[in-house]
Chain A
Amino acid sequence: MSNKLSVAGLSWWKWICIILLFYTVIQGILIPVPRLPILHETIRNLFFHVTMWFAMIILMMSSLVYAIRYLRNNDLDLDLKSEQCAYTGIFLGILGLITGSIWAKNTWGAWWVNDAKLNGAAATMLVYLAYLILRGSLDDEHKRARLSAVYSIFAFTLMLVFIMILPRLTDSLHPGNGGNPGFSSYDLDNRMRTVFYPAVIGWTLLAVWLTEIRVRMKRYKYQHES
């Protein structure tokens, strides 16, 4: 990422990230929301929980893309990016689980319910934790990069199928499924969209920022060691 356009030491997209996140938090709490049964005010979680999952999926996708590019080019820097994207993705995933759990406690009355979407999310986290263990158990850099790239492509494709297809087969408590009022297009009113999309961009930019810092840190560490 070239930082040509920078204001007060921070490049332009970081400023956008800061502004969007402030906007998200302030507007997300202040704007009037439609009163839907069951959800009521908790619908505001849309701006935090759902957008964090979106950012997580985007980060996991980038991790996948870097993994594929690594297999084609054998460039260890791509592997480093793939790994760090996965790390940030896991971090966002944990945030998503926490926000989701708090929300679930307040609307469904339980921290965790047996539901296709929730289980899909948990399984994805397990896959990525296994990915980290796999990385940890290998010493040779190239071998580690290759094996983990293969595993992440293999696992992530299956997980996408799991998250996208299986919940549609069964009824789900999750908003947007099985007749529950949801965050889907028809009840997401236009006022909420003005916060929702900026929030997605804001969280994603924050994730990219975090990843960038970690990538630079690791690069420095490798240079220092060798």
Chain B
Amino acid sequence: MINQVRYLILKEIKLEWKQKYAFQGLLLYVVSTVFVCYLSFRQIIDLPTWNALFWIIQVFAGVNAVAKSFMQESRGRMLYYYTLTNSRSLILAKTIYSLLLMLVLSAFNLFFYSLFIGNPVQDFPLFIIAVVLGSSGFASVLSMVSAIASKAGNNATLMSILSFPILIPLLMTTIRFSKNAMDGLAWSVSWQYMIILTALNALVFALSYLLFPYLWRD
């Protein structure tokens, strides 16, 4: 199974490399969103606003990036996977790949956001932890929702309305957590958020692992 997951992830990366324009499109999406925000806000002095805007860009970039993880698969190719692999390896591979994608996008977002709008974060390592934990939660929720939405006729609106409400718990916890990091509070204050985020990630992951087999047979 580990082998299957590894091959599936490698396949995703190769596929992405072959269609570079899609990936470049995502990066451009992040950069232009940040630029639009920069032009509308100019400079953000209020810390909570900085934080909230950063995460909103993350959410939109994430939805756009991960939406295609199942939507790009044609019916025929899904059938091909069906004969070759186990459904659980497929969702594992897709989630891990989405996680990698989200991390790259977050790095891009953070870089350009700091460049244009400024970076008032005081405890940078803790903020990075918040970004990693938050992004991994987004990646697993969005992969699962993408699988549902792709079965329901590849509708982009559906992807957003299905995922936004279930992202709220993750988003609220991450925003509070990263706000602590911005204020440079002691790590002991943020422990509970770290634990909750990890637990939420584990829960989402376990749910998609259990439920995905029901989704994929046609």
Interface residues of A (CB under 8 A from B): 71, 119, 123-124, 126-127, 129-130, 133-134, 137-138, 143, 146-147, 149-151, 153-155, 157-159, 161-162, 165-166, 169-170
B196 touching A130 by the CB < 8 A rule? no
Q: With A71-B214, A130-B162, A134-B162 in contact, is A150–B148 under 8 Å at CB?
A: yes
Cα distance A147–B200 when bound, in Å? Answer: 22
Contact B158 A154 (CB under 8 A): no
Q: Give the number of residue pairs across the A-B interface with Cβ within 8 Å.
A: 78
CA distance A170 to B176 in the complex (A): 10
Partner of B211, one of A119, A150, A161, A166: A150
Q: Chain A CB within 10 Å — which of B162, B176, B192 has the most?
A: B162
Q: Is the CB of A147 within 8 A of B192?
A: no
Residue of A nearest to B144 (CB): A154
Neighbouring B residues of A165 by C-beta, 8 Å: 196
Q: Which residues of B contact A138 (CB under 8 A)?
A: 152-153
Q: B87: CB under 8 A from chain A?
A: no
A137-B158, A158-B141, A170-B176 known; 19 other A-B pairs, CB under 8 Å? A127-B165, A130-B165, A133-B158, A133-B161, A134-B152, A137-B152, A147-B148, A147-B151, A147-B215, A150-B148, A150-B215, A154-B207, A155-B162, A158-B166, A158-B200, A158-B203, A162-B168, A162-B169, A169-B196
Interface residue? B155 (CB, 8 A)? yes
B165 touches A161 (CB 8 A): no
Q: How far is the CB of A160 from chain B (nearest CB, A)?
A: 10
B33 at the interface (CB under 8 A from A): no
Cβ-closest 10 pairs across A and B:
A126-B165, A162-B169, A127-B165, A130-B161, A123-B168, A150-B211, A158-B166, A123-B165, A130-B162, A155-B166
Within 8 A of A (CB), among B134-178: 141, 144, 148, 151-153, 155, 158, 161-162, 164-166, 168-169, 172-173, 176
Q: List 5 A-B contacts (CB under 8 A).
A: A123-B168, A126-B164, A127-B165, A143-B151, A159-B166
CB of A94, distance to nearest CB on chain B (Å) = 16
Q: Look across to chain A and name the residue whose beta carbon is closest to the beta carbon of B161.
A: A130
Query: What's the least CB distance linking A70 to chain B, in Å?
Result: 10
B residues apposed to A, CB below 8 Å: 141, 144, 148, 151-153, 155, 158, 161-162, 164-166, 168-169, 172-173, 176, 192, 196, 200, 203-204, 207-208, 211, 214-215, 218
Q: Given A130-B165, A166-B169, is A146 in contact with B215 using a C-beta cutoff of 8 Å? A: yes
Smallest distance from the beta carbon of B108 to chain A beta carbons, Å? 27
Q: Are B169 and A137 in contact (CB under 8 A)?
A: no
Contact across chains for A146 and B207 when beta carbons are under 8 A apart: no
Instruction: Give the residue of A130, A149, A153 whose beta carbon is less than 8 angstroms from that of B207.
Output: A153
With both beta carbons as reference points, the residue of chain A lying nearest to B192 in the complex is identified as A169
The residue on B at minimum CB distance from A127 is B165
Residue in contact with A127 in the complex, picked from B152, B166, B172, B214, CB distance below 8 Å: B166
